[in-house]
Amino acid sequence: MTSPNSDLIPTFADVEDAARQLAGVAIVTPLLENAALSERLGFRLLVKAECLQRTGSFKFRGAYNRMSRLSPEERKRGVVAYSSGNHAQAVAFAAKMLGIPAVIVMPADSPAIKVANTKSYGAEVIQYDRYRESREEIGKRIAGERGSVLVPPYENKYIIAGQGTLGLEVVDQAKAMGAEVDAVFVNCSGGGLTAGVALALAQRSPKTALFACEPAACDDTTRSLRSGKRERNAPDVRTICDALMTEIPGEITWAINSKLVKAGLTATDDEARRAMALAFRDFKIVVEPGGAVSLACALSAQRPANAKTVVAVCSGGNVDAAMFASALAAA
């Protein structure tokens, strides 16, 4: 596999630039702590509540950072994106803010709340079978037919840099709380959030270890970090963590994560459900399955024994009521 051109790979300077672009637009989401819970756990647990971001996930950061830089002519032609739901909503909402037509390619089995929200922002939704069709091919075809700009979920320097602003916030907020963070646990799909946070931590908190967290059934990044090359998931994998289902790590994101991520960790669907329940009970936030995997990993035996203060990024909260109720009931 070829390596991406260095001009396509974002740097820390791009993350800083994204922070300026997003200032006053993106929400500075809170870094939460429940002292009683930390005492019971035996380590200090901080939760980055990115489920409270615009459109309910971190994806807004990257989508807006990319789309706000389109030329007037590009804005007229519109954008096309493909996503299981969180990137879809982010692109649709950013498009509404910026007055840009948007077409979103979404799996037919996306959570109903994600489809409904995407449509409510004014985007045209085209659905496909995630197990039989390629979203990338569909998106590229539509973009070509309409002359639109393709806004990928993670393989873009502006999108990765936008996600990295979350890492800047974590560092600043932890410092304000008097916390020296030993480890950060981030949910990983294609690797955009992981790569952005990795760039931020490498510059601002280099002693902090970063862990990429995935569903046990979709552990391509975890296996890739072990083997040193990009590994694929089987095409028919199943997990309730719909936001974290990708075939293979991105080329651009892998160029960063392969160098800066400590290791990959995994959680089962049942562990994700229990983490959702804990987030609701102890932090009073609603987290979707894919947004809770990082918390599940932080709570598991996989957590490094010497990590006394850890941050778990709860990256999204777009979950159907029935799924959320089942997670609470199971716990």
Tokens of 242: 């719909």
Q: pLDDT tens, 23-69?
A: 999 999 999 999 999 999 999 999 999 999 999 999 999 999 999 99
User: How high is the pLDDT of residue 1?
Assistant: 52
Can you give 113-144 as a three-state secondary structure string?
A: HHHHHHHHCCCEEEEECCCCCCHHHHHHHHHH
Is residue 18 one of the residues assigned to a domain? yes
Q: What is the mean pLDDT of residues 213-232?
A: 98
Q: Are residues 192 and 299 in the same domain?
A: yes
Cβ neighbours around 158 below 10 Å, total:
21
Does 6 have pLDDT greater than 90?
A: no
Name the maximum alpha-carbon separation found in the chain.
Answer: 57
Does 119 have pLDDT greater than 80?
A: yes
Question: How far apart are the C-alpha atoms of 186 and 174, rounded to whole Å?
Answer: 16
Q: What is the mean pLDDT of residues 194-199?
A: 98
Q: Which residues pair with 81 in a beta bridge?
A: 104
Q: Which of 94, 115, 150 is the last residue of a domain?
A: 150
What is the amino acid identity at position 294?
S
Q: pLDDT tens, 63-96?
A: 999 999 999 999 999 999 999 899 999 999 999 9
Percentage of the chain surpassing pLDDT 90?
Answer: 94
Q: pLDDT tens, 230-270?
A: 999 998 899 999 999 999 999 999 999 999 999 999 999 99
Q: Are residues 113 and 162 in the same domain?
A: no
Tokens of 144: 């070509």
Q: Which of 106, 125, 150 is the last residue of a domain?
A: 150
Does 5 have pLDDT greater than 80?
A: no
Cβ neighbours around 298 below 10 Å, total:
27
Is residue 1 one of the residues assigned to a domain? no
Question: How far apart are the C-alpha atoms of 99 and 115, rounded to whole Å?
Answer: 20
User: How high is the pLDDT of residue 322?
Assistant: 96
Q: Are residues 169 and 279 in the same domain?
A: yes
Cβ contacts of 297-301, under 8 Å, gap ≥ 24: 297/185, 297/211, 297/213, 297/265, 297/266, 297/267, 298/45, 298/183, 298/185, 299/41, 299/45, 299/271, 299/275, 300/265, 300/267, 300/271
Helix, strand, coil percentages in the chain from 3-state DSSP, rounded to 5: 50, 15, 35
Q: Which of 116, 150, 184 is the last residue of a domain?
A: 150
Which of 204, 145, 120 is closest to 169 using CA atoms? 204
Q: What is the mean pLDDT of residues 313-317?
A: 98
User: How high is the pLDDT of residue 219?
Assistant: 98
Which of 249, 240, 239, 140 is closest to 192 using CA atoms? 249
Residue 36's domain comprises 6-58+157-330
Is residue 45 one of the residues assigned to a domain? yes
What is the amino acid identity at position 154?
Y
Does 98 have pLDDT greater than 60?
A: yes
Q: Are residues 206 and 302 in the same domain?
A: yes
Q: Are residues 53 and 67 in the same domain?
A: no
- To the nearest whole number, what is the mean pLDDT of the chain? 96
User: How high is the pLDDT of residue 236?
Assistant: 87
Q: Are residues 174 and 277 in the same domain?
A: yes
Is residue 294 one of the residues assigned to a domain? yes
Count structural domains, the chain.
2
Contact of 85 with 243, CB cutoff 8 Å? yes
Cβ neighbours around 163 below 10 Å, total:
33
Length of the chain: 331
User: How high is the pLDDT of residue 2?
Assistant: 60
Q: Assign residue 114 the CATH number of its domain.
A: 3.40.50.1100
